[in-house]
Chain A
Amino acid sequence: MRCVEAAKALPLLIYGEMSFEAEDELESHLENCPDCRQELVRYRALLKGIDETALEPSPELLLESRQRLRQSLVSARSSRAHLWDRVREAFTIRLGPLPSAFQPIGALALILMGFLGARMIPAGSAGRFDPAGLAEPVVSRVKYVEPEGPGRVQIVVEETRQRTMKGQLNDQSIQRMLLSAAKDPADPGLRVESVDLLRTGPESAAVRNALLYALQHDPNSGVRLKALEGLKASAGDTDVRQTLSQVLLTDKNPGVRTQVIDLLTQQKEHRMVGVLQELMRKEDNNYVRQRCQKALHEMNASVETY
């Protein structure tokens, strides 16, 4: 293999897209060619650097997309229903108005049809009716299988059913569900919605702790911003102020840091000066720096520590 061919094959080697023989040939070339080995190192560094440019949709964008889709689906369903109405209309046979004397006869005929129909339908078919209204399992997963004698097997299935709960925000079971959804690691959109509902609902120690937890630990900035909104009313409390100071110095999102400055400086408290000066020392976002500087000026404090 020559260096020109090796250079062409390097990205495929990194992505694991080479055949066994081709990879083997390239590996032998690399063993004897320091330039190509160096090139491989550069390629690896380059592709690793590219990883940092990956974009992650914000929970607001995800939420907006889901809401817009929900509306579009509702109109798609209703236009489908209209189409069905038109088809049904086209196939409906209309009779003129019957004299009123025929009405009791018609009613009697309907009762008789119902009675005879019930006699003629086999009893087994009634079993398909589900009086409890329980839905079929939406998701099922085979947990394990085990042979059970000749020709038989035992299968353990894990089934998930969907249930709709409705209730007031101050209902304890509803609140419990929202508190748990606010920590669902798989779905940032769900966490944003849950935190948003919790912050608008009645205040309680559990809700306040959930908001503080989300502000400190949620990986998603949209969720953290919603939690901040919920903590506005209690921004004067010592424990909340302590958490806010910590978040100001550690949060990676400039939007969150800006909001925290606003909340912390609602009360002109001298011990906040040190926190703001510390932020000035490490902050690299111009807008956050400006806000911080303004807050320090308003508190008649110097921008830097000497």
Chain B
Amino acid sequence: MAQTAIRMDESALIRAAQAGNQDAFEQIVRLYDQNVLRLALNLLRSPEDANDVYQEAFLRVYRNLSNFRFDCSFHTWLYRIVTNLCLVALRKRKVRREETTVIETADGVLDRMDTVEEGRADGDPQRRLLSQQLQTRIKHVLADMTPRERMVFELRHYQGLRLRAIGDMLGTTEEAAKNCLFRATQKMRAALGDFV
């Protein structure tokens, strides 16, 4: 029932936006923009790159919304745009290596990732240290994955999407997405095995 209501609201908004209603378009953006930004930020691990993907994705939606024919869900269509943009950015980055997030400023050394929020371990200093070490290692493993492995892992693990939907988004089969997920978790297991 709840899902039907959401679908109905969403398609009414899309039709209104297709007819040129700017408020409806803005509401569509608000419905999805936090998830889009979160997905891009987790995949690219850079606030600036995530912002760029956010801009380009919604501008593409704006330009092409009139061509959207409801033959797939709007969510799938939007995520297809976002994941394509992220894949392009990840592939470019593989070529010019991962960027450092640390920059020098007049006030000293700053980490650009401080502008994003991260789960913090509780008061126990030993747990905190372990958690910091684990996070550093995870960041390295994520950087070592191929863009596709990283994308499938991100969409399945953090975004909770089913492999079939991920396959649809990435223009591949469920089986190929399954293999990507397996390789990604294997890499995680190999690199972080001593933590568990």
Contacts and interface: CB of A to CB of B under 8 A. Distances in A.
B144 interface: no
Interface string B25-64: 1010110011001100110010100110011001100110
Interface stretch (B4-12, B71-79, B80-88, B90-98): B4-12
Contacts of B100: none
Nearest to B43: A55
Contact of A53 (B55, B118, B181, B196): B118
Contacts of B125: 284
B171 interface: no
Contacts of A17: 156, 162-163, 178, 181
B158 interface: yes
B138 A53 contact: yes
Nearest to A66: B33
A33 to B, nearest CB: 17
Interface stretch (A57-65, A172-180, A200-208, A296-304): A57-65
Interface string A274-306: 000000001010000000000000000000000
Contacts of B24: 138
Given A58-B116, A138-B24, A50 B138 contact: yes
B20 to A, nearest CB: 10
B121 interface: yes
Interface stretch (A68-76, A105-113, A117-125, A209-217): A68-76
Interface residues of B, number: 63
Interface in A210-230: 220-221
Interface of B: 4-5, 8-9, 12-13, 16, 21-25, 27, 29-30, 33-34, 37-38, 41-42, 45, 47, 50-51, 54-55, 58-59, 62-63, 113-121, 123, 125, 128, 131, 134-135, 138-139, 156-158, 162-163, 178, 181-182, 185, 188-189, 192-193, 195-196
22 contacts: A11-B182, A17-B156, A46-B192, A49-B134, A52-B118, A52-B121, A53-B138, A53-B139, A55-B42, A55-B45, A56-B38, A57-B34, A57-B50, A61-B37, A65-B51, A65-B55, A136-B16, A138-B21, A141-B8, A142-B4, A162-B23, A220-B117
Given A15-B157, A54-B118, A57-B50, 13 more contacts: A11-B181, A43-B189, A46-B192, A49-B134, A52-B131, A55-B41, A68-B55, A69-B59, A139-B12, A141-B9, A142-B4, A189-B34, A220-B117
